[in-house]
A and B are shown apart, each in its own frame.
Chain A
Amino acid sequence: MMTTGAAVIQIMPQGAEYIRILPEIVLSVFGMIIMVLDPLVDERATQKLLGGIALLGSLAAIAATLYQAQFPGFGFWGMVKVDGFSIFFHFLVTAITAVVILSSFEYMAVQRIRAGEYYGLILLGAVGMCLMSSAVELVLIFIALEISSISTYVLAGFRRRAAISSEASLKYFLLGSFATAFFLYGVALMFGATGSTSFSVIGQVLRSGQIPLLAYAGVALMFVGLGFKVAAAPFHVWTPDVYEGAPAPVVGFMSTAPKAAVFAVLLRVMFEINAPGRVGLIWVATALSMTLGNVGALVQQNVKRLLAYSSIAHAGYLLVAFASLPDNGIPAAMFYTASYAAMNVGAFAVVSHIAGSGERYVTLDDYAGLGRRSPLLAATLTIFLLSLIGIPMTGGFFAKFYVFSAALQANLIGLTIIGVLNSAVGAYYYLRIIVVMYMREAREELPATPVSPALGAALAISVAATLYLGLLPGRVLEFASRSAAELLH
Chain B
Amino acid sequence: MNLHTWNPVILTLVTFIPMAGALLLLLLPRRDRDIRVFSLVISLFTFVLSLHLPVHFHRAQAGFQYEIDRAWIPIPNIHYHLGVDGISMWLVVLTTFLTPLCVLISWKSIDERVKEFFIILLVLETALIGVFVALDLFVFYFFWEATLIPMALLIGMYGHGRKVYAAVKFFMYTMIASVFMLAAILWLYAKVGTFDFVTIQNAIRAGQVGGFASAAQWLFLGFFIAFAVKVPLFPFHTWLPDAHVEAPTAGSVLLAGVLLKMGTYGLLRFNLGLFPEQARANAWWVMILALIGIIYGALVALVQPNMKKLIAYSSISHLGFVVLGIFSFTQAGLDGATYVMLAHGVSTGALFMLAGALYERRHTYEISEYGGLASSLPVYATFFLFVVLASVGLPLLNGFVGEFLVLSGAFQARAVYGILGATGVIWSAGYLLWMYQRVFYGKITKPVNETLPDLDLRERIALLPAMAAALVMGVAPLLWLNAISPAVQTALAPFAQLASKVVGQ
Contacts and interface: CB of A to CB of B under 8 A. Distances in A.
Q: Do the two shown chains form a genuine complex with each other? A: yes
B157 A391 contact: no
A424 B179 contact: yes
Nearest to A439: B156
A404 B179 CA distance: 13
B414 interface: no
A409 B179 CA distance: 19
A8 interface: no
Interface string A382-397: 0000100001110000
B388 interface: no
A481 B75 CA distance: 10
B116 interface: yes
Contacts of B171: 427, 431
B389 to A, nearest CB: 38
B186 A427 contact: no
Nearest to A473: B73
Nearest to A386: B149
Given A386-B149, A431-B168, A438-B157, A375 B75 contact: no
Contact of A477 (B75, B142, B176, B190): B75
B190 A405 contact: yes
Interface string A380-420: 00000010000111000000010011001100000000001
B395 interface: no
Size range of the chain A interface in the assembly: 20 to 34
Contact of B163 (A375, A439, A474): A439
B73 A474 contact: yes
Contacts of B142: 392-393
Interface of B is mostly: helix
B156 A427 contact: no
Given A392-B142, A393-B146, A405-B190, A420 B183 contact: yes
Nearest to A335: B75
Interface in A434-489: 435, 438-440, 472-474, 477-478, 481
A472 B73 contact: yes
Of A391, A423, A435, A481, chain B has the most CB atoms within 10 Å of the CB of A435
Contacts of A391: 145-146, 149
Contacts of B168: 431, 435
Contacts of B183: 420
Interface in B167-189: 167-168, 171-172, 175-176, 179, 182-183, 186-187, 189
Interface residues of B, number: 30
A67 interface: no
A428 interface: yes
Interface string B129-159: 0000000001001100110010001001100
B160 interface: no
B190 A408 contact: yes
B74 interface: yes
B164 A478 contact: no
Interface in A352-381: 371-372, 375
B33 interface: no
B76 interface: yes
Nearest to A416: B183
Contacts of B138: 392
A392 B145 contact: yes
Contact of A427 (B157, B163, B175, B189): B175
B149 A405 contact: no
Contacts of A401: 76, 186
B172 A427 contact: yes
B446 interface: no
B361 interface: no
B443 interface: no
A472 B153 CA distance: 27
A423 B167 CA distance: 19
B157 A439 contact: yes
Contacts of B75: 473-474, 477-478, 481
A472 to B, nearest CB: 7
B146 A438 contact: no
A423 B172 CA distance: 12
A375 B116 contact: yes
B141 A392 contact: yes
B113 interface: yes
B35 to A, nearest CB: 14
A375 B183 CA distance: 35
Interface string A320-363: 00000000000000000000000000000000000000000000
Given A427-B175, A472-B73, A478-B75, A435 B186 contact: no
Contacts of A405: 76, 186, 189-190
Nearest to A421: B179
Nearest to B75: A477
A408 B186 CA distance: 9
A424 B190 contact: no
Nearest to B164: A439
A469 B149 CA distance: 20
B186 A438 contact: no
Given A386-B149, A392-B146, A478 B156 contact: no
Given A392-B141, A473-B73, A474-B74, A409 B164 contact: no
A424 B74 CA distance: 27
A438 B171 CA distance: 15
B293 to A, nearest CB: 25
A270 to B, nearest CB: 22
A404 B116 contact: no
Nearest to A431: B171
A372 B153 CA distance: 13
A372 B145 CA distance: 25
Contacts of A440: 164
A481 B368 CA distance: 66
Contact of B176 (A424, A474, A481): A424
Contacts of A428: 172
A424 B177 CA distance: 10
Contacts of A431: 168, 171-172
Given A438-B156, A481-B75, 5 more contacts: A371-B116, A392-B146, A393-B142, A431-B168, A439-B157
21 contacts: A371-B116, A392-B138, A392-B142, A392-B145, A405-B76, A405-B189, A408-B187, A420-B182, A420-B183, A421-B179, A423-B179, A431-B168, A431-B172, A435-B167, A438-B153, A438-B157, A439-B156, A439-B163, A439-B167, A440-B164, A478-B74
Interface of B: 73-76, 113, 116, 138, 141-142, 145-146, 149, 153, 156-157, 163-164, 167-168, 171-172, 175-176, 179, 182-183, 186-187, 189-190
The 7 A-B pairs with the shortest beta carbon distances in the complex, nearest first, are A392-B142, A439-B156, A474-B74, A439-B164, A474-B73, A424-B176, A477-B75
